[in-house]
Amino acid sequence: MNADDWLRTLTAELHQRRVAADAARHVVAEAATHLREGGGDPWVVFGPPQQYAGAVVESIGTAPGPRPGPVRLHAAGITKRYGRRTVLRDATLTVRAGQIAAVVGANGCGKSTFLRICAGLMSPDAGEVAVSGRLGYCPQSGGTADFLLADEHFVLVGAGQGVARGPARRAGRAAARQLGWEAGGDVQARHLSGGTRQKLNLTMSTLSAPDVLLLDEPYQGFDQGTYVNFWDQLSRLRDAGTAIVVVTHLLNQLDRVDIVLDLTPARETVRHARDSQGGRQ
Amino acid sequence: MNRLVTVAEMTVRELLRRRGVLLLLLLMPLTFYLIRRDAYLGQSVRSLLLGVGWAVSTAALFATTAARELEPRLRLAGYRPHHLYLGRMLGLWTVGLVISVPFFLLPMIDGADLRYGGLAAALLCSVAVAAPFGMLIGALLPRELEGTLLLLTVVTVQMLIDPAGSGARLTPFWSSREIATWTVDNTDQGYLSRGLLHGLAVTALLAVGVAAVASVRLRRRRHLRHLPVG
């Protein structure tokens, strides 16, 4: 990672951690000046950008985030059994506009099942889900058409909302650019790398401007830069009022979310990460 | 209407890009025709029609299986189930008609003496039945291999069964066989009208089957309530 990449990552980190825009600009400008005048590897001078951003937050604090809006997703008492095995027992989650909720837990504890139930793609044995607004869903893998181009995926999704071809293509390419991907080529989806295919998958789910965005570990195959862009984009969507639920097993990202639902059996809890309201719902 | 046309268009684009599969599918009716050519023209034409039916229904099976994971998210993106299955069917019928053109011309170039209006009607019936037939199998069986084996079984039964027996009428491509008899053997009008009626009825029945399966699979689940945006 060169100095420019390091500064870009630092900017994204500060934005995600909700450092006030002016203060963040000031910190990045100072770091850039320091690197230009003093030289040296930013990793040696400042350390990893995430760590430096953490130190900045400790030092100057964060801007107050926008107050969470109305409830967009309320899943209550979700129970799901496969044969005799109960995968989910009485899982409950409430997410408001402008919040990110992380669904975590061990392998096979029902994270993807919970998300599919929230998306209405699967029926639970008990419980119900109330959604206010439009739903967007990004599966863990698949969900694209092998023989179509990225632009054709955008046209297909856009047509569902009555969006004309040109605007749908432009919107898709713009959303892909946010993930550091130029989507306008004539490459069929089957020829895209695993990470790029996931970018297409993610772009499709945000294209319909959903009020509730459900993401099932969408970052499989992402490189470090894209991964940073991904969380940056989530922060932007959150700030724009989208309610986001993301299934993740990367526990080091939990400081970036507002709510954590742990589905590990016998440990199912909902924590409000930012408000530090622990406890079981 | 735009959604229907978009799904149809994307189905056509996807299928036309599977060039290898398409070529192999086209090879089958051609082989069927050529292999019986020296023996009896009627058998040759009937085999050709069955080959076209097989080719289109296999394409429909592949298209349906490939769309299995995409369709639920298109549903969330604003599509209704009928946009998805009707759009796909429309696309498959279009591809089927395009595939049929060279097979309509083949006996003509070969100098076969037959009723070409009948051949066109029989090809139309084959394509009309094949698209929903392949889609229905694709909707019921999640894996391509299982679906292909079932298609193969049906086509083999169709080929071997006694066409005069009552059981033959239960096979999906009986209509094109009946019309082919009128086309090649100059039989009475009854063959044509029976064939057309059978083709129409089977197409409608299969389309209703596809609609039923798609509507169940892509239904709005009862546990999910949509509230107005507050």
Residue keyed to tokens 């600009």: A25
Q: Does A130 touch chain B (CB under 8 A)?
A: yes
Residue B229 maps to a domain: no
User: B104-131 pLDDT, tens per residue?
Assistant: 998 888 887 889 999 999 999 999 999 9
Residue B228 maps to a domain: no
Residue keyed to tokens 């100098």: B111
CB B55 within 8 A of CB B28: yes
B221/A208 touch (CB, cutoff 8 Å), yes or no: no
Residue B118 maps to a domain: yes
Model pLDDT, residue B64:
93
Distance, CA of A69 to CA of A97 (rounded, Å): 5
Residue B223 maps to a domain: no
pLDDT over threshold 90, residue B89 = yes
Model pLDDT, residue A253:
64
Q: What angle do CA B179, B180, B185 make, to 5 degrees?
A: 110
* DSSP-based helix, strand, coil % in chain A, nearest 5: 45, 20, 35
Give the β-pairing of A71-82 and A85-96.
Answer: antiparallel
Number of CB pairs, chain A paired with chain B, less than 8 A apart: 99
Task: Show residues of chain A in contact with B10, CB under 8 Å.
Answer: 145, 148, 152, 155-156
Q: Rg (Cα) of chain A, in Å, rounded?
A: 20
**First CA to last CA across chain B, in angstroms?**
30
For residue B101, the surrounding DSSP H or E stretch is helix B81-109
B220/A120 touch (CB, cutoff 8 Å), yes or no: yes
Domain count, chain B: 1
Distance, CA of A205 to CA of A160 (rounded, Å): 12
Residue B226 maps to a domain: no
User: B156-211 pLDDT, tens per residue?
Assistant: 888 888 877 778 888 999 999 899 989 988 888 889 999 999 999 999 999 999 99
Distance, CA of A120 to CA of B219 (rounded, Å): 9
User: B11-69 pLDDT, tens per residue?
Assistant: 999 999 988 888 888 888 898 888 877 777 888 888 899 899 989 999 999 999 989 88
Residue B224 maps to a domain: no
Model pLDDT, residue A186:
87
Q: Which residues 161-180 of A have a C-beta within 8 angstroms of B? A: 161-162
Residue to test with chain A: of B62, B70, B83, most A Cβ within 10 A: B70
Q: What are phi and psi of A277, to 5 degrees?
A: -95, 100
Residue to test with chain B: of A147, A165, A203, most B Cβ within 10 A: A147
Q: Does A129 touch chain B (CB under 8 A)?
A: yes
Q: What is the pLDDT along chain A (281 residues), one digit of tens a residue?
A: 678 778 877 887 777 677 777 788 888 888 888 888 887 788 888 888 888 888 888 887 776 666 778 999 999 999 999 888 889 999 999 999 999 999 998 888 889 999 999 999 999 999 999 999 989 999 887 789 999 999 999 999 999 988 999 999 999 999 888 888 888 788 999 998 888 888 899 899 988 889 999 999 887 777 777 777 788 788 888 888 899 999 987 666 666 788 889 888 765 566 665 543 333 33
Confidence of residue B212 (pLDDT cuts 50, 70, 90): very high
Instruction: Return the amino acid letter for B34.
Output: L
Q: Does A103 touch chain B (CB under 8 A)?
A: no
State the SS3 of B51-74. Answer: HHHHHHHHHHHHHHHHCCCHHHHH
Give the β-pairing of B224-227 and A126-132.
Answer: parallel
Please give the structure tokens belonging to residue B152. Answer: 């193969």
Residue whose C-alpha is closest to residue A175's, from A141, A218, A145:
A218
Distance, CA of A1 to CA of A3 (rounded, Å): 7
Please give the structure tokens belonging to residue A175. Answer: 């959303």
Residue B171 maps to a domain: yes
Outline where chain A has alpha helix (H): 3-16, 21-38, 42-45, 49-60, 111-118, 150-160, 165-178, 194-207, 224-239
CB B42 within 8 A of CB A126: no
- Min distance A144 CA to chain B CA atoms (Å): 6
ipTM of the complex in this document: 0.88
- Min distance B217 CA to chain A CA atoms (Å): 9
Could you tell me the residue range of the domain that residue B182 belongs to? 2-217
- Min distance B205 CA to chain A CA atoms (Å): 27
Model pLDDT, residue B230:
63
